[in-house]
Amino acid sequence: MKRAISEKSMLVFNYLNDHDGENLTAADIASALGMATKSVDGVVTAGLQRKGYTERVPAVIEVEDENGNTVAKKVNFIKLTADGRAYDHQAALAADAAEAANA
């Protein structure tokens, strides 16, 4: 089983790690990293969430609609898990290399 995350996943992971504790959506991360929101969603799901490094936390926020009215909007904040905070990329790369050598 491959443990290390990809280069693109590392970009998103590092951003989340640098902003740990903040309420960030995929759109927030995409904007900050110059990526498409769909790409961030894919990276989070396939590269981070399935490995247990992130989770999506449902929330409701208030936003202003086109008429200036405040409305409720459902969002998912992307957060690092305890495993995500403990992730060591160099150790994961070494474990992957060792596993490949023994295969």
pTM here?
A: 0.86
| Structural domain includes residue 2 | no
Q: Distance between CA 1 and CA 55 in Å, rounded?
A: 21
**Tens of pLDDT along 1-32?**
567 899 999 999 999 999 999 999 999 999 99
| Structural domain includes residue 34 | yes
Print the domain residue range for 55. Answer: 7-102
| Structural domain includes residue 53 | yes
Q: How many domains does the chain have?
A: 1
**Tens of pLDDT along 28-74?**
999 999 999 999 999 999 999 999 999 999 999 998 999 999 999 99
CATH number (domain holding residue 90): 1.10.10.10
Q: Distance between CA 7 and CA 97 in Å, rounded?
A: 16
Q: Distance between CA 44 and CA 35 in Å, rounded?
A: 13
